[in-house]
Structure 1
Amino acid sequence: MDSSLQVILEALPMLLKGALITFKIVIIALPIAFLIGLISGLMNVSSSRILRALATFYVDIIRGTPLLVQVFFVYFGLPAFLDIRIEAEVAGIIAISLNAGAYISEIFRAGIISINKGQMEAARSLGLSKWLTMRLVILPQAIRRMIPAYVNQFIVSIKDTSLLSVIGINELTQSGEIIISANYRAFEIWGVVGIIYFMIIYALSRLARVFERRYASQ
C-alpha cells in the first residue's frame, strides 16, 4: 500500500497538469461549439432550403464519422492540403468544437421545434419580425429545455478529449500513458486518471442540476 501511495503521489502533479489541459481545451471548445450549434440549428429550422441543406450536410458528416478520424483530418489532412501547420492543441480544439457543434445543432433544432408554433404566430401577429420572435420568444424557452442535453454533451466532450492523446497533446489520458511507460504501474495510474475524470464530470453534473432548478423555478 505504501508503495502504491508513493506512486500516486509522485504521479499526481503531472496528472493534474494534464487535467488542466483537458479542462482548458473543453472550456475553449464548448463555447465555440455552442455558437456553431446555434447557427447550424437556426439554419436547420429556417425557411431556406439551401441553409437547411448545408446544416444537414454538416451534421450528417460529423455524426457519420468517428471523432478520431476528424482529429486526424484536422491535424494531418488540412495542413497537408492547405500547406500550413496547425498546433496540436489548436487542432484538438477545432476537432472537439466541430464535433460537439453538430450534436448541439440537433439539440437546438429539437429545442426550437418543441416550442408550440402558436407562440411564433402570436408574436408575429403583434408585429415582431421572425428574427425578433426567435430571439425574444422562442430561443429563451428552448434554451431552458436544452440545458440537460447541453450539459450531457459537455460531459461527452470531456471524455472525448482522451482521443487527443493520439496527436501528442499531454492531456489527462496522455499524461497517464507517459507515467505508465516509465513506472509500469498501470493499476494505480489508470485508477487515479479515472477518479480525476469522475470528479470533474460529477462536479459539472451537480452544477448543471443547480442551473436546471433555477430555470425551472422561473
Structure 2
Amino acid sequence: MNYHWDWLFFFQEADDGLKYYEWIISGMGWTVAVSLGALAVALLLGSVLGVMRTTPSRLLVAIGDTYVDVFRNVPLIVQLFMWFFVIPEFLPEKLGLWVKQELPYLVTAIIGLGLYTAARIAEQVKSGINALARGQRFAGLALGFTEWQTYRYVRLPMAYRIVLPAITSEAMNIFKNSAVTYAVGILELYFQYKQIIEKTSQVLEITIVVTAIYFGLAFAMNRVLAFIEKRSAVPGLITGGKGGH
C-alpha cells in the first residue's frame, strides 16, 4: 500500500484560519451538545410514553403505541428531513418562516433525534414497569397514593433500575446516531470528518482519530451510567443479569 502517513497535518491551517485539530474539537463539541440534548428529550418523553402504555386507559395506550410504531419504523434521517423541511410548511406562515429562518438548527436536530430515541426509551420503560410485581401498585394505592403517584414514587423508580442497562445502550447509541445530523447542516464530528478528508485526503489518520473519539464518547457514557446503576442498585432486585444477595 503506497500511502503517505502524515499525523502532523492536524496542525496545518485550514482555509478558515483554524487548524484541522480545531475542526475536530469543534465537531466533537457539537456532537456532545446534540447527543446530550436529544438524550434529555428522549428520557423525558420516553418515560411519559412508557407510562401511558401501561395505564388502564385504552386511549393513552393507543396513543403511546401509535407513537412508538411510527417513530421506530421510519429511518432517522427521513425524520430529520421531515422536521427540517416538511413540517415548517404545514405551520402557520409566520411560525413556519421563524422555524426555517430563526430557530437554530441545533434545536431542530436535538428535537428530531430526541423524538426518534424516545420511541426506543418508551419500549424500555414499558418493559421495566411490566416486570414489576403487581403488588407494588396495590401497595401504593393502599397507602393512599393516586394512580399517578404510584408511578412517580413506587413503580418508575424501580422500573428504571431494571431497565438501566438497556437505557445505557440507547444512551451510547445516541452518540453514534448523532452523525446523521450532518445531513441537515449540523457541523458535528462526522461533518468535520468528511470536510477534512475532502481538504487533505489523509483518510486513514482522520478515520482513526474520529473512530477513537466516537468510542471514547460512548464508553464515557457507559461508565457514567454503570456508576449510577451500581449506586442505585436495590439489594435483592435483579438488574442487568445480576442478582442481589
With the length of structure 1 as denominator, give the TM-score of the two structures: 0.94
CA distance in 2, matches of 1:127, 1:19: 49
Are the aligned partners of 1:43 and 1:51 in contact in 2 as well (CA < 8 Å)?
Answer: yes
Consecutive aligned runs of 4 or more in structure 1 exceeding 4 Å deviation:
none
Are the aligned partners of 2:5 and 2:205 in contact in 1 as well (CA < 8 Å)?
Answer: no
Are the aligned partners of 1:8 and 1:192 in contact in 2 as well (CA < 8 Å)?
Answer: no
Distance 1:76-1:145 versus aligned 2 partners, 3 A rule: same
Once the two structures are superposed, what CA deviation does each residue of 1:100-121 show, in whole Å capped at 9, x if it has no partner? 1111111111111111001111
- What is the correspondence of 1:122-137 to structure 2 with a 5 Å cutoff? 122-137=139-154
Alignment gaps of 5+ in structure 2: 13-19, 236-245
Of Structure 1 and Structure 2, the greater helix share is in: 1
The answer to whether the aligner puts 1:207 opposite 2:215 as a matched pair is no
Count, aligned residues: 218
What code does the residue aligned with 1:4 have? D
Task: Give the structure 1 partner of residue 75 of structure 2.
Answer: 66
Q: Which has the higher contact order (CA 8 A, sep 6+)?
A: 1
CA distance in 2, matches of 1:63, 1:109: 15
CA distance in 1, matches of 2:148, 2:5: 63
CA RMSD in angstroms, aligned pairs only: 1.7
Alignment gaps of 5+ in structure 1: none
What code does the residue aligned with 2:143 have? L
Task: Give the structure 2 partner of residue 161 of structure 1.
Answer: 178
Task: Give the structure 2 partner of residue 4 of structure 1.
Answer: 6
CA distance in 1, matches of 2:219, 2:11: 22
With the length of structure 2 as denominator, give the TM-score of the two structures: 0.84
CA distance in 2, matches of 1:12, 1:171: 13
Shift of 1:139: 1.1
What code does the residue aligned with 2:6 have? S
Percent identity of the aligned residues? 32
Q: Secondary structure at the match of 1:214?
A: helix
Distance 1:148-1:9 versus aligned 2 partners, 3 A rule: farther
The answer to whether the aligner puts 1:39 opposite 2:48 as a matched pair is yes
Once the two structures are superposed, what CA deviation does each residue of 1:151-200 show, in whole Å capped at 9, x if it has no partner? 21111111001011111111000011111111111111111111111111
The answer to whether the aligner puts 1:170 opposite 2:187 as a matched pair is yes
Shift of 1:128: 2.4
Task: Give the structure 1 partner of residue 242 of structure 2.
Answer: none
Which of the numbers 99, 103, 111 marks the counterpart of 1:94?
111
Which of the numbers 57, 72, 79 marks the counterpart of 2:66?
57
Task: Give the structure 2 partner of residue 186 of structure 1.
Answer: 203
